Each structure stands twice: as C-alpha cells, then as structure tokens.
C-alpha cells in the first residue's frame, strides 16, 4: 500500500487534471440546479394549498380533489428525479471517473516498478 | 378482538426475526462485519433492508392516525420522508461514502480534525437515536395492550429485549436480512387487510367521509393551528433531517460501490412510495368508519375488526399486529446498532465487546424515557427527531462537504446551537405539550427556525475563526470529491479496533 506522502502527490496530480475539474463541474451543474428545482416544486404545492384553495378543491373523481392528485404526484416526481440522477451519473460521471482511475492506477503501477 | 391470534402473530414475528438474525451469527466475526456487513450486500437486499429499517411505528401506525385526525395536511409526512432520501442521494451520499467514515462522528473528525467536534456529533447521534427509539417502545406498549390487555410497559420491554439479543448476537449483517424480511412483512401486513377493507367498503355502498369532508381533504384548511408554518417546517425537517439520521446513513456503506448505492436509493424510493400510499387510504377509511377514534394511532389496528369482523377480521387484525411489531423491531434494531456503535467507539474502548455493552445501554435508556413521558402521537415524536437531525447534522454535512472555510469552532458552535435549540423545543413539547398558540407551533415544529439559525451560527463562527481551518482541508476535500471508484487510500477512519 502506498504511504501517506505518495498519496498526497497522487491527489495533487488528480486535482490538477482537467478531466477531474470537468467531472466536478458536471456533478455540480446537474445537482445544484436540480436540488433547487425540486425543492421549489415541493414548496409550490404548499403555496398552492395556502393561496389557490379553489384550484386545489376542484374535484377530479368522486371525493378526490386536485390537492390529493398533486400530493400523489410528489411521490412520482421524487422517484423520477432520482432515476434521472442515476441515469446522468451512469452516463456522464462514471465513464470519466473510470478513465481518471485507470490512469492514476497505471501511474502508480509505473512508480512502483 | 381475539387475544390468541394477536399473541400468536407477535410470537411468530419475534421468532422469525430471531431465526433469520441467527443466520448471521456465524457470518459476522470481525468488527467490520458488525458495523457495515463488510460491504457485500446486493442493492435489492439493501433497499429492502433500508425500507424495513426506515418504516417505523410512525409510518406503520402514525401516518394513518394523523391523516384521520388532521386530514390531507399530513400527507406531507410520507412525502417528506421519501423526499429526504432524494436530498441525501444527490447532495451527500457520494462524498460521504468517499470520506471512508462509517458514522457521522467519524465524518466530523475526519473533516475537521477535532475530537471536540467528534464528541459533540457523538452526543447528538445518541440523543437523536434515543428520541427515535422512545416512541417505538411506547407504540409497542400501546399495541400489545390493545391486543392482549397487557400493561403498557410490557410491549416496549419485549421489543427492547428482542432487539438487544439480535444486535448482540449478529450485528449489522444479520440485521440486514432481518430488516429485508421485515419490509416485505410490513407491506403484506398493510396490503392484504386493505384489499378486504376496500371490498367491505364497496359492499357498504362506498360511503364518503361525511360532514366536513371538503375541509378535511384540503391541505391547510384548518386541520391544525398555524398550518402553513407547520407545513413548511415539517418539509424542512423531513427533507433535511433524513441525511442526519444515524441508522439511515450507515446503510449506504453496505453497498459495494457508488453505482450500487444509487441503484439502492432508486429501489428504496420505489419501495417507500408503494408503502406510503396505504396509510393514506387507512386514514381515509378511518375517517369514514371511526370518526371518534381518540389520538388516531390505533386506526390501522382497529379498522379490520370494525369493517370485516368475525374470524376473518381477527385474522386480519393479527396480520396487522405482526406488521406493527415488524416495524418496531426493525427500526429499533437499526437505531440500536448506530447508537451502540457511537457509544462503543467513543465512550467505551471500541471493539466487539464494547459494542455489545453499548447495545444494552442503547436500549435501556429510551425504555426508561418511554415509561416516564406521556405518549404523544408517534409520528409527531419521530418528527421531532427529524427536526433535531436537520438542525445539527444537515449544516455539518452540507457545509463540511461543500465549503472549505468551515472551522472546528464553527462546526461545534453550530452543532451545539442548532442541536441545543431543537432539543430544547423537543423537551418542552414532550414534557408539557402539546402547547397551543404560536409558541406551541414553534416548539412542536422547530425546524423552520432552528435549521437557519444553525447554518448562520456555523458560517459566522467559522468566518470569525479563520485560524482554525483544519490544516488537512485540501487533502480531505480532494478525497471527498475524487471519483468514487478511485482505489486510493482514503484515510484510516475505521473503527479503531479493526
């Protein structure tokens, strides 16, 4: 196993790598806007409950009103967002991470030899 | 209600849990086995276990009860409990896994290089765990009393004893299997009776929820005082509190890699969403058939006998009872492992023996608390635990992962202020509550003010103590944000004895 000192240098090299910066950028550019968006979507429901009563009380089917339908959609949207994140991570984050890893391991191998 | 069926159901669940737990005994030998099951659990198993662990008495009994009493406002509880996982998934799960820390105190120490922060975090984990365990034991007492007429303390004692034995014998590995089993048991125990209830409801001519239904089915229409404030506060507590629940976080370490962790979370969201639809229907049926039920926590248990009746009703009641006990056992087991982990590592000497001693302490204290405090609705007390977690660990995790200038002084001040304020509000609510008026609402749902206060204190104190930025911050930040699968030494934050 590598010593602490060697590790630090590996970390520094990785941090300086453009692809690592790109990886962090891709992560942030997805996660931060999405977090803001889904929080807004949940808060919108509360706002509608407070100030758009008539809309929320509209009966859709029997005693089921718009409020209940929107409430159920909250579950669905939670799942969809998580699924989208999973897809994004698998498509855009994992391959790049794998590339950086392969190179770092190769480099460590060479140093040991 | 037939006592024999109910007792048989409880005995069966207890035995099944003990037996499945027993399979783990010969598998868990090292400290790593006890803590995180050696990271060898597959996503579906893990997701079932997370679901099993997460769906506590509050989900199984409490949500239906609150919906019965307060109406559609209370749909927010299950939505928030599910959404909290989403926040956890996208914001903190990946960096936290990479940190190599097993527990929240491990993370606090690794990030801030301070034993003071570590101990503060440890105390908070134990407090949150106890606050969450207490209503599980109380509900067990209420259910056992309703089924058999036993004194209220007996149910809690039974659950505590089974959990202690299970945790002592197998640690996390066996608990993973026990909890996966318990998720499916809980789902079945609500779904099967629900089919019969709905058939009975149709046969009855599908009556609607009577007078006041329009108000009851509309959020914020007068269910509770200061509904808008309470709802916002509840959302904040549940969304941000999930990441700070000790028994939830540790589960993410049992995935072999980040991809598996994401697949697990997806499965968890599907499993939780499927489960949470049912308490809502129970609450609605309760509104139609049991409008006078006091408190509401017993609605799930009372409906089968009321609507179906006869032997079929008794059998369905027994099934629901079994599900309820599965809920008490699974959540209590997960919490006990986490609390015992912290007590064992930070207060005792670490290692398997300390873990076992700590497990006993971890169940005895909340058992005492359960007998001392007056039972509030179970979902409300669990909500308080979420509020404490959101006011302490959410700022620590979010700032710790994303903000370089966090200092140990700032983190400690924020944890103490946020955790202290929320705990104070909880104590006032538990001891004299529920209080009325604006002050009562502020105390019953503290998250809306205590979370921002904790963030502000943590940031301001950090900015005032720039000299206390930990020297290794660059290294740990790279570690938190390097690709998940990178096989480098991620530090030595392992249980000390391994």
Nearest to B328 by CA among B461, B181, B453, B143: B143
For residue A2, name the pLDDT band (cuts at 50, 70, 90). Answer: very low
Cβ contacts of residue B285 below 8 Å, gap of 6+?
A: B197, B201, B303, B307
Q: Do B79 and A101 touch (CB under 8 A)?
A: no
Count A/B contacts: CB-CB distance under 8 Å: 136
CB contact under 8 A, A35 and B478: no
Contacts of B360 (CB under 8 A, 6+ apart): B164, B168
Q: What are the extents of the domains in chain B?
A: 3-374
Interchain proximity A86–B270, CB inside 8 Å = no
A59 membership: H or E segment, kind and range:
strand A59-61
Measure CB to CB from residue A79 to each of B72, B269, B482 and give the nearest one.
Answer: B269
Report the candidate in B247, B270, B292 with the shortest Cα–Cα distance to residue B68. Answer: B292
CB contact set of B62 (below 8 Å; sequence gap of 6+): B77, B139, B297, B377, B378, B379, B380, B382
Q: Read out DSSP for B11-31?
A: HHHHHHHHHHHHHTTTT--SH
Q: Domain locations in chain A? A: 4-112
Of B78, B90, B486, the CB nearest to A101: B486
Q: Residue B53, Cα to own-chain centre: how many angstroms? A: 7
pLDDT 10s digits, A35-94: 888 888 877 877 777 777 677 777 777 667 777 788 778 778 888 888 888 888 888 877
B249 Cα to chain A: minimum distance (Å): 17
Q: How far apart are CA B420 and CA B414, in angstroms?
A: 9
A78–B82 CB contact, under 8 Å:
yes
Closest-CA distance of chain B to residue A113, Å? 18
Would you say B293 and B68 are in contact if contact means Cβ atoms under 8 Å apart? yes
Task: Kindly state the average pLDDT of the residues A93-99.
Answer: 77
Beta bridge partners of A65: A59
- The DSSP element (H or E) to which A65 belongs, if any, is strand A64-65
In angstroms, how far apart are the furthest CA atoms of chain B?
73
Contact A98 B269 (CB under 8 A): no
Q: Does B483 touch chain A (CB under 8 A)?
A: yes
Is there a contact between B375 and B136 (Cβ–Cβ < 8 Å)?
Answer: no
Phi-psi region of B460 (alpha: psi -120 to 50; beta: other; left: phi over 0): alpha
Token pair in block for residue B178 = 């026990």
- Burial of B449: CB neighbours in 10 Å, binned 0-12, 13-18, 19+: middle
CA-angle at B214, arms to B302 and B291, nearest 5°: 20
Q: What are the pLDDT tens digits along chain B (498 aa)?
A: 467 888 888 888 888 877 766 665 545 445 454 445 445 667 788 888 888 888 888 888 888 888 877 777 777 788 888 888 888 887 887 788 777 777 888 889 989 988 999 999 999 999 999 999 998 898 888 888 888 888 888 888 988 988 888 777 765 455 677 778 888 988 998 889 888 888 888 887 767 665 555 566 565 555 556 777 888 888 889 889 988 887 777 776 666 666 777 888 888 888 888 888 888 888 888 888 877 766 677 888 888 888 887 888 888 888 988 888 888 888 888 888 888 888 888 877 777 778 888 888 899 999 988 888 777 777 778 888 999 999 999 999 999 988 888 999 999 999 999 999 999 998 888 877 667 778 888 888 899 999 999 999 999 999 998 888 887 777 777 777 765 444 444 443 444 333
Cα(B182)–Cα(B188) distance, rounded to whole angstroms?
A: 10
- What pLDDT, on a 0 to 100 scale, did the predictor assign at position B63? 84
Task: Write the DSSP symbol of residue A64.
Answer: E
User: Containing H/E element for B324?
Assistant: helix B310-342
Q: Where are the alpha helices (DSSP H) in B204-254?
A: 213-216, 227-241, 246-249
Q: How confident is the model at residue A3 (pLDDT cuts 50, 70, 90)?
A: very low
Helix (H, G, I), strand (E, B) or coil at B243: helix
B434 cis-preceded (ω within 30 degrees of 0): yes
Q: CA B309 → CA A73, B278, B300, B317, distances in Å?
A: 34, 20, 14, 10
Complex ipTM = 0.72
Contacts of B85 in chain A (CB under 8 A): 78, 82
| Surface-to-core class of residue B374, CB atoms within 10 Å of its CB (0-12 exposed, 13-18 middle, 19+ buried) | exposed
Among partner residues B83, B228, B483, which is closest to A50 by beta-carbon distance? B228
B235: which chain A residues are within 8 Å (Cβ-Cβ)? 42-43, 46
User: What's the confidence (pLDDT) of residue B312?
Assistant: 85
B213 close contact with A: CB closer than 8 A: yes
Q: Taking the alpha carbons of B132, B138, B140, B142 in that order, is the dihedral positive or negative? A: negative
Write down the CATH superfamily of domain B3-374: Hydantoin permease (1.10.4160.10)
- Residue B473 tokens, joined: 């911050």
CB-count exposure of residue B51 (10 Å: 0-12, 13-18, 19+): buried
């Amino acid at each position: 196993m590598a010593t602490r000192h060697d590790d630090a240098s590996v970390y520094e090299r990785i941090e300086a790598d453009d692809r690592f910066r790109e990886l962090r950028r891709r992560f942030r550019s997805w996660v931060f806007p999405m977090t803001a968006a889904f929080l807004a979507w949940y808060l919108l429901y509360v706002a509608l409950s407070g100030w758009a009563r008539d809309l929320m009380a509209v009966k859709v089917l029997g005693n089921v009103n718009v409020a209940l339908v929107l409430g159920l959609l909250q579950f669905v949207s939670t799942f969809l967002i998580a699924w989208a994140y999973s897809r994004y991570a698998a498509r855009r984050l994992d391959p790049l991470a794998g590339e950086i890893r392969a190179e770092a391991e190769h480099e460590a191998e060479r140093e040991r030899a | 209600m037939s006592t024999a069926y109910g007792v048989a159901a409880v005995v069966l669940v207890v035995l099944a849990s003990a037996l499945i737990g027993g399979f783990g005994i010969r598998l868990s030998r090292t400290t790593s086995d006890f803590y995180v099951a050696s990271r060898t659990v597959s996503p579906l198993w893990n997701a079932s276990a997370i679901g099993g662990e997460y769906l506590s008495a509050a989900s199984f009994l409490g949500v239906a009860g609150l919906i019965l009493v307060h109406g559609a406002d209370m749909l927010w509880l299950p939505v928030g409990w599910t959404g909290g996982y989403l926040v956890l998934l996208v914001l903190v799960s990946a960096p936290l896994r990479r940190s190599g820390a097993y527990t929240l105190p491990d993370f606090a120490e690794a990030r801030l290089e301070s034993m003071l922060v570590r101990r503060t975090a440890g105390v908070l984990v134990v407090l949150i765990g106890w606050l969450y365990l207490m209503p599980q034991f109380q509900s067990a007492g209420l259910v056992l009393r309703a089924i058999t007429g036993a004194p209220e303390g007996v149910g809690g004692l039974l659950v505590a004893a089974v959990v202690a034995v299970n945790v002592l014998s197998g640690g996390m590995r066996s608990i993973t299997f026990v909890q996966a089993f318990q998720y499916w048991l809980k789902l079945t125990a609500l779904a099967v009776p629900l089919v019969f209830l709905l058939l009975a409801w149709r046969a009855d001519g599908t009556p609607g929820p009577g007078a006041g239904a329009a108000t009851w089915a509309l959020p914020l229409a007068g269910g509770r005082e200061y509904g808008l404030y309470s709802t916002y506060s509840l959302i904040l507590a549940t969304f941000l509190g999930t990441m700070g629940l000790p028994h939830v976080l540790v589960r993410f370490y049992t995935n072999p890699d980040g991809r598996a962790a994401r697949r697990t979370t997806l499965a968890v969201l599907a499993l939780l969403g499927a489960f949470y639809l049912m308490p809502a229907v129970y609450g609605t049926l309760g509104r139609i058939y049991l409008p006078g039920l006091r408190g509401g926590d017993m609605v799930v248990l009372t409906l089968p006998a009321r609507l179906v009746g006869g032997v079929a009703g008794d059998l369905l009641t027994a099934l629901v009872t079994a599900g309820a006990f599965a809920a008490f056992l699974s959540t209590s087991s997960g919490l006990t492992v986490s609390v015992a982990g912290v007590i064992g590592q930070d207060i005792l000497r670490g290692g398997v023996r300390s873990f076992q001693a700590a497990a006993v302490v971890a169940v005895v204290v909340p058992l005492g608390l359960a007998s001392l405090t007056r039972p509030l609705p179970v979902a409300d007390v669990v909500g308080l635990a979420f509020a404490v977690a959101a006011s302490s660990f959410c700022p620590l995790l979010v700032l710790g992962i994303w903000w370089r200038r966090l200092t140990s002084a700032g983190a400690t001040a924020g944890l103490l202020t946020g955790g202290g304020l929320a705990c104070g509000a909880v104590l006032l609510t538990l001891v004299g509550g529920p209080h009325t008026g604006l002050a009562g609402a502020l105390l019953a749902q503290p998250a809306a003010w205590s979370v921002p206060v904790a963030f502000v204190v943590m940031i301001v104190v950090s900015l005032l103590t720039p000299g206390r930025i930990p020297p290794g911050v660059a290294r740990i930040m790279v570690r938190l944000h390097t690709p998940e699968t990178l096989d480098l030494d991620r530090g030595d934050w392992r249980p000390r004895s391994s």
